[in-house]
């Protein structure tokens, strides 16, 4: 029996049990994936409990992708470089940290846009933002701009330190933000703004995007959102209305899940299973109000 879990706060919106059940079925595994809300004060104990209960591993979501690192026995070089862990593997009572978000995001974006020699804007400074920045740079993006709200936050200071000299940083209130958005070929939301149940919110107001549309050709832009629920966020709806190509976080979740599942089980996920996951999750999420 293989048992894994998603930990974070909150996790009720997640459809990960459905995703991993598809992968498990094709692999012929007896498998269970749980969703567990974990309070910050209980994070260390939750990780210890996963070892005691012999879980094969964990997926980590908001807000703990950076916080878990201090409690792990080993962290993969790529995850250390990114500064965030979203996948943990339990190997004989030792916890190993990986980042499969970067792979998931870039595979998803590749389905819709060529990254090489492109300019990108990433909104946010958390774990998802770090994964996107690392993936975009590795994919050959010529310029990455990170927009942040809180200059004094630990996360903002951390990403500035870790990507110093590689990324340009700008505040949401900077008068040049509209120019940066206009110049970018890829605009990524890596914040939780717009996630269910607050689905009407957007990290960039529609009025601001209208100003951007006057300066940049939206038909040549890809707007990407790391959020998968709702399937099409307000951020994406606004961009679509102005003529941009859009991509939600469903495929990012699917692809990161492929790598996580393979790390946990040693089983390869077939293309057929990925296609089935895309179809099923799209159908499921479009039904969610």
- Of 35, 65, 180, 221, the catalytic one is 65
- Which of 260, 244, 257 is closest to 112 using CA atoms? 244
* 75 bridge partner residues: 97
Which CA distances in Å does 225 have to 66, 175, 215? 20, 23, 22
How far apart CA 179 and CA 143 sit, in angstroms, is 14
65 is catalytic: yes
- What are the helix (H) ranges across the chain? 16-27, 43-52, 77-82, 101-110, 127-138, 154-162, 177-183, 206-215, 234-241, 250-265, 271-287
How far apart CA 13 and CA 96 sit, in angstroms, is 26
3-state secondary structure at position 123? strand
Which CA distances in Å does 246 have to 168, 173, 221? 24, 24, 8
Q: What amino acid positions are annotated as catalytic residues?
A: 65
């Amino acid at each position: 029996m293989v048992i894994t879990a998603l930990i974070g706060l909150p996790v009720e919106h997640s459809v990960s049990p459905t995703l991993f059940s598809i992968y498990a079925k094709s692999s012929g595994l007896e498998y269970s994936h749980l969703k567990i809300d974990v309070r910050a004060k209980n994070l260390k104990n939750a990780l210890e409990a996963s070892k005691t209960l012999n879980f094969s591993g964990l997926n980590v979501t908001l807000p703990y992708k950076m916080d878990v690192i201090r409690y792990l026995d080993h962290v993969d070089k790529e995850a250390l470089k990114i500064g965030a862990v979203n996948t943990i593997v339990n190997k004989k009572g030792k916890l190993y940290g990986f980042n499969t978000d970067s792979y998931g995001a870039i595979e998803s974006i590749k389905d819709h846009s060529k990254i090489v020699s492109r300019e990108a804007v990433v909104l946010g400074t958390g774990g998802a933002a770090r994964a996107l920045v690392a993936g975009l740079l590795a994919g050959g993006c010529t310029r990455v701009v990170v927009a942040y709200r809180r200059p004094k936050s630990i996360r903002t200071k951390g990403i500035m330190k870790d990507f110093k000299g590689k990324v340009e940083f700008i505040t949401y209130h900077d008068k040049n933000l509209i120019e940066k958005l206009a110049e970018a070929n890829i605009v990524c939301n890596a914040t939780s703004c717009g996630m269910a149940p607050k689905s009407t919110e957007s990290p960039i107001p529609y009025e601001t995007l209208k100003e951007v549309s006057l300066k940049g050709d939206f038909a040549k832009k890809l707007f990407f959102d790391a959020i998968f629920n709702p399937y099409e966020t307000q951020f994406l709806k606004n961009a679509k209305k102005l003529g941009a190509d859009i991509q939600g976080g469903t495929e990012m979740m699917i692809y990161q899940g492929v790598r996580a599942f393979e790390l946990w089980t040693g089983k390869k996920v077939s293309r057929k299973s990925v296609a089935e996951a895309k179809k099923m999750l799209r159908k499921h999420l479009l039904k969610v109000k």
